[in-house]
Amino acid sequence: MYYIHPTECIECGMCESICPVDAIRYADEVNEDEEAFVALNAEVFRQADGSLAEPGGWKAGGPSLTDPPALSRLCGQKQSN
Ligand code: SF4
């Protein structure tokens, strides 16, 4: 999953405009079914080691984020609906 830093994103729209699967939303466009993904995105940064979770903490070549187990459960629920 692609993760967006919840406090660094300025909602410029660049990634939203190029996402090939239309998976990125502005905060005010998130519907009820998608809110769990927003919460999961924020949780991944909270759980990240080191300074990755802090604004400005990500550096090119730095550690990558790991998909949490809850993601596969969420995707499974979405597919079965
Ligand atoms: S909208 Fe996308 S490209 Fe723009 S700041 Fe947020 S994550 Fe980065």
76 lines ligand 1 (CB under 6 A): no
pTM of this structure:
0.77
Mean pLDDT, the chain, rounded, equals 83
- CB-based contact 51:8 (threshold 8 Å): no
Mutate to test the pocket of ligand 1, among 11, 17, 24, 44 (most ligand atoms within 8 A of CB): 11
Number of neighbouring beta carbons within 10 Å of residue 23:
12
What are the Cα distances from residue 40, in Å, to 4, 43, 60? 11, 5, 23
- pLDDT tens digit sequence for 31-59: 999 999 999 998 888 887 666 777 777 77
Identify the helix (H) or strand (E) that includes residue 15: helix 14-18
Expressed in angstroms and rounded, the spacing between residue 69 Cα and the centre of ligand 1 is 25
- CB-based contact 70:30 (threshold 8 Å): no
